[in-house]
Structures are given as C-alpha cells and as structure tokens.
Amino acid sequence: MTNLCNSKTQNLLPIEQANAKIRNQLQAITGNEKLSLNTALGRTLQKSVLARYNYPFNDVSSMDGYALNTQGINPIQPFQLTCCGTSWAGKPYPKTLSPNQCIRIFTGAVLPQGADSIIIQELVSVQETTITFPANPTLYDNIRFSGEDYKKGDLLLPVHKKLTAVDLSFLASAGIYEVSVYRQVNIAFFSTGDELTTVGQPLGSGKVFDSNRHALNGLLDDPCYNCTDLGRYADHYELLKKTLQDAANQYDVLITTGGASVGDADFIKDIMNEIGQIDFWKIAMKPGKPLAFGHINSTLFFGLPGNPVSVIATFQQIVEPALKQLAGLSPTKRLQLKAQCLTALKKTPGRKDFQRGILKQNDNGDLTVISSGQQGSHILSSISAANCYIILEAQCHSLPAGQWVTVEPFSCFIAE
Ligand code: AMP
Ligand code: MG
C-alpha cells in the first residue's frame, strides 16, 4: 500500500477545499445595468422576472378548424351548424356565438365569447356556409386557455440565472423587453516569464511562445466578463509589482500565469505578500499543483501555474467557479458521466488527476473513453485532441484497460 503521507503529497490541499475556501470569501459584485433583450444574451439576472400578463393572453385555438357553441346540440348523431364568420390569428371574430352557431377559426386565433369547443377541419364537411360535424366529436378540445402557462405575477425567471436564447424568447413572448443584469466583471490577465515570446515574433534562443494568454483569452470569453489582456512581463520584481498595483486600481480580478512556484525567478508570492494578502496553495490536483489566491485591496488575485495544461485545468476547476460567483450566477457544476476506459491509465496516488481523454458514444448510447496521449502538463497536443477529462480520485492507482471511470466532457458535442 502506498503511503500517502510522504513528502510529495504532504500539505496538499484537496481541490474541493480550495474551492470552498475561495467560495466562502466571495460574493457577487455590486452594480447592475438594464439591458434590452438584444444585448442580454449570456448575462446574469440581477432581479427575478415576474409575468406582466396571463399567458396565453386569451383563450385561443391550437388548430385550424371550427369553433362551436355546443349548447343544445345532441352530438350522438352527425350535426350541422351554420358558419357565421371567421376568427383569424390577430383578427378576432368580434361577436358572441349563440347556441348552434359556429365560426371558422385558425391556429392562434382568439376563441369568441360563447364558443366552448374547437373541432379540427379534417373532421368536417363543408357545403357553402353549412358545416357538417361527425357524431361524438371530442368537445372542449383544441383550446389553449388564457393563463394556462403562467398567470400575471408568476415567477418567469429567477435572479442569478444566466440568460439563454430560450430565455430571451420566453421573455419576449411575455412582453418583457428589458432586464436588470449584474454588471460585467472586469478581469485582466498577463503572463510572466523571461522565456516568453509573443506569438508572431521571432523565437529567440531558449524562448517559448506565450500560449497561456491565448488560453485565458478564450476561456474568459463570456458575456458576463469584460476582459483585458495586459501582455507578457519578464520575471522582474519591481516591474511585476508596479504592474499588479496599477492593475489592482482598475480591475475586479487579476489573473497571472507563471512565476507562482518557489523558484528563484518566481516573484509573485513575495510581491503579493508586500502589496496585498495571499494564500499560496499546493493543490492536490494534476495537472496544476501551485496556485496563489489573494487580494490587493478589493481586487481578487489568482496566480496560476506556468505550464499551459495546468493553466487550463486550474482555470476551469478553480478560477471559473469563483468568477461565476462574482458574476452573480447561481452555483453550477460540470456534468460528469461514467465511461468504460479502453486504454490503461498511469496514475500515482496522492493528487486528483484530470487526464485528457477522447469520449465516444455508440448508437446504443454506451460511453467509452481512451487516453488522448501523453499527459505532461506542457503537452498541449493531447488536450487539444481531447474532448473530456478522465477524473481519477487522489487515492487511485494506475488502472488496467476496461475499467469504468468518471469523465467530464468539455462540451455537449462529440465527434460522430
Ligand atoms: P513557471 O511556473 O513560471 O515556473 O513556468 C512553468 C513552465 O511553464 C515553464 O516551462 C515555462 O516556460 C512554462 N510557461 C510559463 N508561462 C508560459 C506561457 N505564458 N506560455 C507557455 N508556457 C509558459
Ligand atoms: Mg516562470
């Protein structure tokens, strides 16, 4: 049995605890704005939305057919009624239907006063204005009743909901054209490292292209955030300190990558101790052990590791839930499923692994997963090829092929 209390795994903070520590220190930002539906997609409701009307607004027809007043009719025999007008969608029949009268009616058209049933057109025969109805038709049918969906004053959407395209359609249908949403969270990020070259510039000796800023730029693409890429900075104490101080005056959140370990060129911890407060954690997750979380005045700070796959994983697992909380969203969790893993997986006990995998589903709906390749925290090719994480709990050892594992899809679409 492996001893989990060896020096490598000692003092590691389980990811769930890291998230809880952050969550307990945060609350949604203050400040809201009113937006028209056209600009509100993806934003977070800062107030619940209540119905201004009953919906449907009126009793309306759900089919093309005939609306009848069936009082006095004995429907065990076929029966005939005179058609005395039409109710069109948007152009109602203005009079009350008396017993033994019917009108032509179309889908979405208002049911006139006195009508109690709608019989679909396929069941009737028409001779000029005389309509013959079959015996025993279903009465009181094909009517959408006013308020059957919701009534005036009912809750339509709760506070803290992220507005989807469906929600916007729903609100528009309810006559609501403006919503109160949380203001955007102002987020800035930058990369640190003497070795970094901005992509597009010539690669100097011993240098690497700065990929982390491009990861963050994409990962932060959300209408709830207003993001600024502050560029890349050398490992220079005074320069980094000034950059962090200046940025803290302008943004709600700062995210850096690199320089958050304890190497000679890793200054983030010392700078943050000088200008703010910082917790420096070794998270029990792989990839992504070192992570700094703190404040400069009221600005939140996340210091992510330098390795590109660690940046992506720690952002998704730790930073993103915090940003959502700040943006006013109700808590969500990532969908996890069970899949049979068709490849053997290497794992050292001690940290929770987020291995990169390729999830497939056959025509029966069965899920299988394979490793997407090399699992180093510098290997972007295998996370690019992946469509899910294979999550292995901290205490788990290497697994032979054929085991059932937990997977966390990157999105709801997978290749056919
Ligand atoms: P550090 O955390 O600064 O020690 O960096 C760990 C590893 O990640 C080193 O190999 C760095 O070169 C690499 N790295 C750091 N920042 C970036 C970046 N922005 N883009 C690509 N690789 C990086
Ligand atoms: Mg570095």
Was domain 34-54+151-181 assigned CATH 3.30.1780.10?
no
| Distance from residue 306's CA to the centre of ligand 1 (Å) | 4
Was domain 334-415 assigned CATH 2.40.340.10?
yes
pLDDT digits (tens, 9 = 90+) for 150-186: 999 999 999 999 999 999 999 999 999 999 999 999 9
For 197-265, give the DSSP string: E-BTB---TT-EE--HHHHHHHHT--TTEEEEEEEEE-S-HHHHHHHHHHHHTT-SEEEEES--SSSTT
The closest-lying atom of ligand 1 relative to the alpha carbon of residue 261 is 2
The secondary structure element, H or E, covering residue 323 is: helix 320-326
Mean pLDDT, residues 327-334: 95
Q: What is the 3-state secondary structure (H, E, C) of 146-198?
A: CCCCECCCCEEECCCCECCHHHHHHHHHCCCCEEEEECCEEEEEEEECCCEEC
pLDDT at residue 5 greater than cutoff 60: no
Specify the CATH class of 60-144 in words: mainly beta
pLDDT at residue 225 greater than cutoff 70: yes
| Distance from residue 290's CA to the centre of ligand 2 (Å) | 12
Write the Ramachandran bin of 314: left for phi over 0, alpha for psi from -120 to 50, otherwise beta: alpha
Q: What is the 3-state secondary structure (H, E, C) of 275-302?
A: HCEEEEEEECEECCCEEEEEEECCEEEE
Mean pLDDT, residues 189-200: 97
In Å, the largest CA–CA distance within the chain is: 96
DSSP label at 270? H
Which pLDDT belongs to residue 114? 96
For the chain, which residues make up each domain, given as ranges? Answer: 4-31+183-329, 34-54+151-181, 60-144, 334-415
> Within 6 Å (CB) of ligand 1, which residues are found?
191, 193, 195-196, 208, 210-212, 257-261, 263, 305-308
pLDDT digits (tens, 9 = 90+) for 22-31: 999 999 999 9
Tell the residue nearest (CA) to atom 15 of ligand 1: 306
Q: Is the backbone peptide bond immediately before 134 cis, with ω within 30 degrees of 0?
A: no
pLDDT at residue 221 greater than cutoff 70: yes
Nearest ligand (C-alpha, residue 289) = 1
CATH code linked to domain 4-31+183-329: 3.40.980.10
Rounded to two decimals, the pTM is 0.92
